[in-house]
Structure 1
Amino acid sequence: REVVTGGGADQIFMVMDCMETDLKAFMAKLKDPPAPSEVKSLMQQLLSATAYMHDRWVVHRDLKTSNLLFSMSGALTVCDFGMARHYSDPIKKMSTQVVTLWYRAPEILLGSQLYTQAVDMW
């Protein structure tokens, strides 16, 4: 994990760990449901990553299976922080035009601009 530059100042690249697929594509290829131990491992990693973000007052706002990268060794990584925002106490207004429709938390679907990290847990 590092930031490198190319030949010009406008060529900046982030070098990250190789993740072979996203969780959505991986699940689509499975012939049988994953073993309970695999589900447990993925959930532990996802909840740990979510807790890490929330402990730093970051709300992702677009958690979905296609934003969860997955390696064949079983490592899970959250990606696509394009809609992520810092949140605070007291709560400040944020956009409701976030998250893929099918993953929106009820408070966002109902038009509330005052929401917290709970939207990531939905």
Structure 2
Amino acid sequence: MKKMRLESFTGRISYTTIREISILRDASHKNIVRLLDTILQEKSLYLIFEYCDMDLKKYIDGAPFGLPVDLIKKFTYQLLCGIKYCHSRRILHRDLKPQNLLIGLDGNLKLADFGLAREFSNSLGVLTHEVVTLWYRPPELLLGARYYSTGVDMWSVGCIFAEMMSSYALFRGDSEIDQLFKIFGILGTPDEHLWPGIRQLPNFKIIFPIWRRYPLERIFPWMSYDAINLLEVISFSQFRIYNYVNNFRISLFRNS
């Protein structure tokens, strides 16, 4: 159950809440949490969901050396299925993180908390960059981009996958600039050759420190080639969507 307070001055349901309800009522997928009912009571609105035992964050916290490989395969595949469904319906989640991924009584993963979700059009429209929890926020949003698409969700998928493998968040910044530098420290500081148009982004500074790329296989030496291949969604390309369409078929997920 999720409790939503009505707007203090008008007593109305907020637009974002209406949007979340609309998205969830229309959604029908085994890896999307089901909205069962809505109850309006005094100054609050209650969203009633199917019961889920825990969230992915609790699973990760209970496994200090990373989740079992079979479980990582299962959860990652289900996360990709859920987000692929959202994107096929032209919906961006915009807040994927372990706390927003619930594990049902059947042991299956379900996407939840669509409070920041919104529909998008064929063209890349102007959107707010103040979305996605900091540790799972892609560099284009940290740099103030107002034009983005499904790649923002795919960056978060890569971060979650890495966290399941290691039990810790890959980029753990304590501010937007620190988060950006944590990313640059591993992926390298991008330039116009690596990321055309980066200098036009509002928060880009030519005085950013220069880091060289640190190979992901050195950070995760125990990962298979296919697992490292999936982590390539953690890249400076805003079109990470094409990476995961191919990775969907790799051997990592066979028999999952």
- What is the TM-score when the length of structure 1 is the normalising length? 0.86
Greater relative contact order (Cα 8 A, min sep 6): structure 1 or 2? 1
Measure, in 2, the Cα distance between the counterparts of 1:108 and 1:31: 30
Matched, 1:95 2:95: no
Could you tell me which runs of 5 or more consecutive residues in structure 1 were left unpaired when the two chains were aligned.
none
Alpha-carbon distance, 1:12 to partner? 5.9
Match of 1:60 among 72, 93, 98: 93
- What is the TM-score when the length of structure 2 is the normalising length? 0.43
* Counterpart mapping for 1:23-38 below 5 A: 23-30=56-63, 33-38=66-71
Output the aligned Cα RMSD.
2.1
**Counting helix residues as a fraction of each chain, which structure ranks higher?**
2
* Counterpart mapping for 1:40-59 below 5 A: 40-59=73-92
Alpha-carbon distance, 1:102 to partner? 1.4
How many pairs were matched up?
A: 121
Question: What SS does the corresponding residue of 1:70 show, helix, strand or coil?
Answer: strand
Aligned residue number for residue 19 of structure 2 = none
Percent of matched pairs sharing the same residue? 36
Matched, 1:3 2:37: yes
Alpha-carbon distance, 1:4 to partner? 5.5
Aligned residue number for residue 111 of structure 2 = 78
**Letter of the structure 1 residue corresponding to residue 69 of structure 2:** P
Match of 2:146 among 102, 113, 122: 113
CA offsets per residue over residues 54-94 of structure 1, 9 Å max, x none?
00000011100011011353211111111101111211100
Alpha-carbon distance, 1:10 to partner? 7.4
Which structure has the bigger radius of gyration?
Answer: 2
Alpha-carbon distance, 1:15 to partner? 3.4
